[in-house]
Amino acid sequence: MRVMKKYTLTLLGLAFVPWVATAQLLPITQLPDTIVDHLDRSVNRNAERLQELKQQRLIEQQLQKTLAIKAQLLDPLLQLPSVLPILDTRKQLVWNEVEVELGQRAVEREWLLLLSENQWQQVLEVMPALSQYVQTNKGLDSLDLQLIKLRVPESLDSKHMLRQQLPALLAPYLSRNFIYQPQTQTAESITMPPQAAIKVENNMPAAMCELPISLGMVDTAINPKHSAWPNMTERFALIQQHFLPADIATSYSHGTAVAGVLAGANDGLSPLLPSLTLYSAGAFYAQNEYQQGATLDSILQALNWLVAQQSRVINMSLTGPDNPVLTEVVSRLVAKNIILVAAAGNGGPAAAPLYPAAYDGVIAVTAVDDAKRLYRWANQGEYIDFAAVGVKVLTTRADGSVGRESGTSMATPVVSAKVACLLASSPTLTLAQVVQQLQQQAQDLGEPGRDSQYGYGLLTRPLKAGL
């Protein structure tokens, strides 16, 4: 025991004491045992603390590794190859979906110009050769715009190169034909047979309101034959229009799930809007068995059609990159007093803002669970406006079943329904007045007042009267 104490003291002297040579000459017997014991305990405590820190570091590293694996499983962009051929029903190539700058996805070498007819003529006067690259020229009549889709050679396949060819005033109205994603995480979905769903949902929640509601949505197509839809002639009218090439297989999964939150009325489902006319603009195609994508081209055509249907509220449970073309369309919709309600995104707490939710004039919706805890993959930021339940939400499936889905996509229709009910009771409300009334109906969560996680707070059914 005496040898061990001497070794301990010597080690401490070498490591920490500048007079180490002198210290080594001191006879160990001259030090009181209490001091030696104290030094022993200090060394042991330091060793134990060091071991704890090592274990904690290993746990943190393992946690980070686990989160990275889960993030890859839940983020659809991380699962897609850099080049994804999109085929028609005859297995013929329609376009290649490719990864472009900043990890975004777009149709290979396709660009969009959003102009008036007069502006397009100016472009052709300056750059007549551009006409040879035109694939389509479609009028967005409800927005007083022309949507020109170009397929350019590789030498022009960049914003810098194309803008050099355009008149300076028109160059900003240019964008790649980006791909947008729905915001439901199917990796967490749990399929439930109808009888199980009925056992779970004993206390059916009240509707958002009982008023006749007209609502628009941009999404995948909706399965019109699902048994959960109410009587089609009396309570639920589904009007669908598709904005994809006719020979591309139709995708139904995401839109059916969103519609189920709005209108599902059996198998344990309680509709937010029991008297609903739903205008569904189908813009998404199947990227693979589980995922869907929508081109910016299709989304703009879908919005143009919904404006023509006089849809005052449009649900957009989708996200993608900021670009000047979508910015201009959103600005025009806001100017027409059309209210867009969009999913905040499932990119995670540190993700960059996603669009259209992050645009001014768009109501951005995040998701919480039944215990009012923030959905772990929800985007955060100053653009978040409101929260709604969007975790393990019971809803309809494209295959005719019901199941649980998670994501900001599932929370968005709750807020869309509330906005639509407000406008049905007071049609003259402006966007600012609608947001003000929503604030009065929201339950504050997180930091007092508006915050970057929950926005103004949680919105639930039913619509509160008299505010």
Which tens digits make up the pLDDT trace of 267-276? 789 999 999 9
Whether the CA torsion 38, 43, 46, 52 is positive or negative: it is negative
pLDDT band per the 50, 70, 90 thresholds, residue 39: low
Distance CA 203, CA 335 (A): 42
List the alpha helices (DSSP H) in 233-357.
253-263, 296-308, 324-335
Domain boundaries, the chain: 2-72, 84-179, 181-441
In this prediction, residues 221-231 reach a mean pLDDT of 92
For residue 132, the model assigns a pLDDT of 94
The answer to whether residue 466 scores a pLDDT higher than 70 is no
> Measured between alpha carbons, how far is 255 from 292 in angstroms, rounded to an integer?
10
Q: Which two tokens stand for residue 66?
A: 């686990």
3-state SS assignment for residue 402: strand
Quick one: pLDDT band at residue 68, thresholds 50, 70, 90?
A: low
Least Cα distance to 99 among 111, 83, 115, 112 occurs for 83
- Measured CA to CA, the distance from residue 456 to residue 394 in angstroms comes to 25
Query: How large is the average pLDDT for residues 332-343?
Result: 97
| pLDDT tens column, 127-181 | 888 899 999 999 999 999 999 999 999 999 999 888 887 777 777 789 999 999 9
- The yes-or-no verdict on residue 9 having pLDDT over 90 is no
Q: Is the pLDDT of residue 193 over 60?
A: no
Give the CATH number of domain 181-441: 3.40.50.200
Q: What is the mean pLDDT of the chain?
A: 85
Report pLDDT digits (tens) over 197-214: 434 445 789 999 999 999
* % of the chain surpassing 90 pLDDT: 67
What value does the mean pLDDT take over residues 437-443? 97
Place of tokens 């355009």: 166
One-letter identity of residue 178: F
| The predicted structure's pLDDT at residue 379 | 97
Given a contact cutoff of 8 angstroms between Cβ atoms, the answer to whether 450 and 456 are in contact is yes
pLDDT of residue 79: 74
Cβ neighbours for 155, distance < 8 A, ≥ 6 positions apart = 161
- Sheet containing 386-389, strands listed edge to edge, beginning at the edge strand earlier in sequence: 236-242, 276-282, 213-219, 313-316, 339-343, 362-368, 386-389
Residue 264 has pLDDT above 50, yes or no: yes
Exposure of 396 in the CB half-sphere (CA atoms within 13 A): 28
Average pLDDT over residues 388-402: 96
Positive or negative, the Cα torsion across 206, 208, 214, 218?
A: negative
By residue count, the chain amounts to 467
Please give the pLDDT value at position 37.
67
**What is the reported pLDDT for 77?**
46
CA–CA separation, 197 and 404 (whole Å): 10
pLDDT band at 36 (very low <50, low <70, confident <90, very high): low
Residue 440, token pair as written in the block: 């009065």
